[in-house]
Structure 1
Amino acid sequence: MAHFGAICPAYFTGHLNTMLPLAQELKRRGHRVTLIGIIDAEAKTVAGLEFLTFGKEEFPQGAMTEALNYLSKLSGLAAYSYVVNLLKKEANALLRDGLESIKNAGVDALLVDQVSVGGGTIADLLDIPLITICSSLISHPSHSVPPKYTNWKYNPTWWGKLRNQVGYAFYGRVTKPMIDVVVEYRRQWNLPLYSHPNDAYSQLAQITHQPPELEFPRENLPEWFHFTGPFHYSGTRKPVPFPWDKLTGKPLIYASLGTLVNSQVDVFDKIATACEGLDAQLVISLGGSATPESLPNLPGNPLVVEYAPQLELLQKVTLTITHAGMNTTLECLNNAVPMVAIPIAFEQPGIAARIAWSGAGETIPLKRLTVPRLRKAISQVLTKPSYKQNALRLQEAIKRAGGVTRAADIIERAVSTGKPVLTGTI
């Protein structure tokens, strides 16, 4: 049995909720799994998994709570730049502190989130297998596909590809400080420098929890790239109380802006106003950004909670109004729930563009959000059968993809053979 180290920005719920079920599945199969992260992430680690900390200098106890509170008030490029700086600091701490700790812990292989840019360098130096886990949209640059941080539609024309190329160049400049940290350590350790962004990813297996039906047509993905569908399941989530007795039995509209950039009280007000008068009940989850008591009285008297048991609630939902975070999007599709997306930051615009492209929902950019636009989109998704039909189509695609079981099969084969696991072989 192997000892896996799992590296991800565990203070981001979406990334953690992808890695934990995978870690739990490997542990169930008899492997040892250690989550590797900053000290504030330890409390989020589920029972049965070990934890190895690094970066206490940059990230002392409580530092990430303060950082995430600040982040929750940002949107767009400001939020993206702030997270790049956090990931830069984390990469430096991981490469400075984590190497000896991981070596001393006897880790045999690393599962590394695609945004944890230092993990691949540690695997190279220790000469242990690396598996890349894509917990958000696929990051691999491709001129056939718009950068994931944009809401651009898929456009395979020459000018569409040129636009994409310019977009990748822009975001490459934004992320350069983070990449420079890795370059400097690779120089110090006499490791080959990366010649392409994709070089930082595994040459054995790269796994995304997207189904392929939620991705634009892509060119030049590695032969060892796998679409397995979602990993998450409720066993890795803490129970959340919810006033089930207050549900009226009417069609349920669920609104959530996630747990990061979610301090958008005006957006919640617009959502409530747009839903007022519909023959439906609106449930709003604040994602910890505020308490229900702190909000002004919202139109239509929606049911407002600080957190919602999302996996259980989605089994009853007719429509979700979402920030288009990857986990919420996949959880909606796993329950065949169509969406209206209001992307705020990070890769959310790209996910929202794919929701619209797949036919499973509509999207409204945050800067263009008005009550009339939102009401029109909600009414359209509620009344036009094609949205539900496409959500059902993606639900079936997720069932076929194999999920966490197939992902673990791929990982085990890659580590046991030391050879690339090619697409279609598992």
Structure 2
Amino acid sequence: MSHIGILCPGAIGHLNPMCNLGIELLRRGHKVTLFGVPEVEEKISQSNLEFYEIGASDFPPGSIEAIYIQLGQLTGLEGLKLTIQFFEKEASMLFRDAPGAISDARVDLLLVDQVTSAGGTVADYLNLPFITVCNALPINREPGVPPYFTHWRYENVWWAKMRNQLGIAIFNYLSRPIWNVLVQQREIWHLPRHHQRDDAYSRLAQIAQLPQELDFPREKIVPWFHYVGTLKSPKDMEPVSLNKQSFSFEELDDKPLIYASLGTLQSHNWKIFHCIAEACLDIDAQLVISLGNPKAVPSKTNFPGNPLVVAFPPHQQLINRSSLVVTHAGSTAVSCLSSGVPIVAIPITTDQPGMAARVARAGAGEVVPLAKLNVAKLKMAIERVFEDRTYRDNAAKLRSAIQNAGGVVYAADVIEQVIHTKSPVFNSRLRGSV
């Protein structure tokens, strides 16, 4: 039995897959501890993972929620800038608090969320093996792949690669506060210098929560990179949301179901929900809108038509019942495709444009950019996906790919192999292109 530590953001979209992976490792006899700020403890209370509090002085109770509310009100570049500011502050906190906590807990190996860039340096300082887990879209950089925060399509031509490199350079410039903190701390701790951003990721194993068939083709991916598909519970339960979810499935009628969800961060933008409801008025289907917040009051909404508005329903279970899902993309897109459900994406910020672009390339959905969102365009996209069987067929192909990828079982196998060998775990299934 090994003691495995987890470092990841406190957002539900990151905590749920990490907790599901932790639960699988618990089932195999390992001890698993998540290190997080105070308000994360309640979120993971249903998971049976142990919790070790850090960062209370920087992130007192309620502060993370306040940041997420602010992020939910921003779009595009402004949302990305706020995210970078948060991760810079988190990195400084981790460098101060995490080494002592992890040493005190006597951890043997760390699972580090890819966006928690400080985690690998903490592991290096403690001389601990660590594994990178990409709970969001992988942000590994290479010229052939558009930056994750862009809506750019994949094009295997010289001008697209030049465009991608320019986008990567812009992102590196915007995220330099995080990079500078990391570089400075490695100098203080007398650790080998990182020469490029991807040096912060594990050289033992990198685990991505999507199938390779959904990602853009990659030529420079490391051989210890593993596409494992969704890190979800076999029972489709979401451990972080379990104690707050409520929904009566008896309220569903016999019509096809259209489910609308903007996740937990962007769910404060009710103007988008209003547009979705109006776009669905003449479509012969039942619309269910998730407000993504257990504190939301559905009775205060005034959306057109008669949609069923719910504060915080069981997300995956409703996806499973749906004919299509209208979403901001992000991790919700992979959840939909894991059930073979096509998508109409309205990407808002961070990695959502990149995920939406991948869904469109796979033929499993349509994209309506937020800047071009109106009722007519959204209605046209919904009707196209709703009526054309091709989208559902392509979503079904991705469902098979996700099932074949292995999920939490394969991810846990990789982790255990690292534990046993302390050497890179090469992916024999990795293909050079899709």
Task: Give the TM-score normalised by structure 1.
Answer: 0.97
SS at the partner of 2:413? Answer: helix
Say if 1:154 and 1:216, in contact at 8 Å, map to a contact too. yes
Question: What is the identity, as a one-letter code, of the residue corresponding to 1:38?
Answer: V
1:271 equivalenced with 2:276 (yes/no): yes
1:104-143 deviation digits (Å, cap 9, x = unpaired) = 1100110000010111011111111110000011111111
SS at the partner of 2:258? Answer: strand
Q: Could you tell me how far 1:262 is from its partner in structure 2?
A: 2.2
1:161 equivalenced with 2:167 (yes/no): no
CA distance in 1 between counterparts of 2:388 and 2:118 reads 46
1:55 is aligned to 55
2:298 is aligned to 292
Q: Could you tell me how far 1:425 is from its partner in structure 2?
A: 7.1
Q: Which shows bigger deviation, 378-387 or 46-55?
A: 46-55
- The 5-angstrom pairing of residues 69-148 of structure 1 reads 69-148=69-148
Say if 1:263 and 1:290, in contact at 8 Å, map to a contact too. no
1:183-233 deviation digits (Å, cap 9, x = unpaired) = 111110111110111111111100001100110111110010000111112
Q: Which shows bigger deviation, 236-245 or 215-224?
A: 236-245
Say if 2:137 and 2:330, in contact at 8 Å, map to a contact too. no
1:247 equivalenced with 2:246 (yes/no): no
Question: What is the identity, as a one-letter code, of the residue corresponding to 2:335?
Answer: E
Identical-pair percentage:
45
Say if 1:343 and 1:352, in contact at 8 Å, map to a contact too. yes
CA distance in 1 between counterparts of 2:162 and 2:250 reads 54
1:5-38 deviation digits (Å, cap 9, x = unpaired) = 10000x2111111100111111110101000111
Question: What is the identity, as a one-letter code, of the residue corresponding to 2:34?
Answer: L
C-alpha change, 1:191 and 1:419, in structure 2 (3 Å) is same
CA distance in 2 between counterparts of 1:166 and 1:336 reads 35
CA distance in 1 between counterparts of 2:334 and 2:297 reads 26
Say if 1:145 and 1:161, in contact at 8 Å, map to a contact too. yes
1:149 is aligned to 149
Q: Could you tell me how far 1:47 is from its partner in structure 2?
A: 4.0
SS at the partner of 2:33? Answer: strand
1:385 equivalenced with 2:392 (yes/no): no
Say if 1:340 and 1:363, in contact at 8 Å, map to a contact too. yes
| Structure 2 gap segments, 5+ residues each | none
2:314 is aligned to 309
1:346 is aligned to 350
Question: What is the identity, as a one-letter code, of the residue corresponding to 1:293?
Answer: S
SS at the partner of 1:299? Answer: coil
C-alpha change, 1:355 and 1:47, in structure 2 (3 Å) is closer
Q: Could you tell me how far 1:49 is from its partner in structure 2?
A: 1.1
Q: Could you tell me how far 1:295 is from its partner in structure 2?
A: 1.6
CA distance in 1 between counterparts of 2:412 and 2:75 reads 35
1:333-382 deviation digits (Å, cap 9, x = unpaired) = 11110000000111000000001000000001101001111111011111
Q: Could you tell me how far 1:261 is from its partner in structure 2?
A: 2.1
2:202 is aligned to 202
2:180 is aligned to 180
2:403 is aligned to 399
Question: What is the identity, as a one-letter code, of the residue corresponding to 2:171?
Answer: Y
CA distance in 2 between counterparts of 1:23 and 1:188 reads 32
Q: How many positions carry a matched residue from both structures?
A: 423
Question: What is the identity, as a one-letter code, of the residue corresponding to 2:300?
Answer: S
SS at the partner of 2:202? Answer: coil
Question: What is the identity, as a one-letter code, of the residue corresponding to 2:265?
Answer: L
CA distance in 2 between counterparts of 1:197 and 1:147 reads 13
SS at the partner of 1:213? Answer: coil
Say if 2:34 and 2:51, in contact at 8 Å, map to a contact too. yes
Question: What is the identity, as a one-letter code, of the residue corresponding to 2:178?
Answer: M
SS at the partner of 1:315? Answer: helix
1:157-207 deviation digits (Å, cap 9, x = unpaired) = 100000000000111111110121111111101111101111111111000
Question: What is the identity, as a one-letter code, of the residue corresponding to 1:286?
Answer: L
CA distance in 2 between counterparts of 1:351 and 1:191 reads 34
CA distance in 2 between counterparts of 1:285 and 1:69 reads 16
Question: What is the identity, as a one-letter code, of the residue corresponding to 2:392?
Answer: K
1:47-76 deviation digits (Å, cap 9, x = unpaired) = 421111211111012211222222221111
CA distance in 2 between counterparts of 1:391 and 1:312 reads 17
SS at the partner of 2:101? Answer: helix
1:373 equivalenced with 2:372 (yes/no): no
Q: Which shows bigger deviation, 241-250 or 219-228?
A: 241-250
| Among candidates 316, 319, 324, match of residue 324 of structure 2 | 319
Question: What is the identity, as a one-letter code, of the residue corresponding to 2:283?
Answer: L
1:361 is aligned to 365
Question: What is the identity, as a one-letter code, of the residue corresponding to 1:244?
Answer: F
Say if 1:114 and 1:134, in contact at 8 Å, map to a contact too. yes
2:340 is aligned to 336
Q: Which shows bigger deviation, 305-314 or 393-402?
A: 305-314
**CA RMSD, Structure 1 to Structure 2 (Å):** 1.3
Say if 2:19 and 2:47, in contact at 8 Å, map to a contact too. no
Question: What is the identity, as a one-letter code, of the residue corresponding to 1:49?
Answer: L
1:6 is aligned to 6
CA distance in 1 between counterparts of 2:421 and 2:321 reads 44
Task: Give the TM-score normalised by structure 2.
Answer: 0.95
Q: Could you tell me how far 1:243 is from its partner in structure 2?
A: 2.7
- The 5-angstrom pairing of residues 32-43 of structure 1 reads 32-43=31-42
CA distance in 2 between counterparts of 1:20 and 1:48 reads 9
Question: What is the identity, as a one-letter code, of the residue corresponding to 1:25?
Answer: E
Q: Could you tell me how far 1:318 is from its partner in structure 2?
A: 0.3
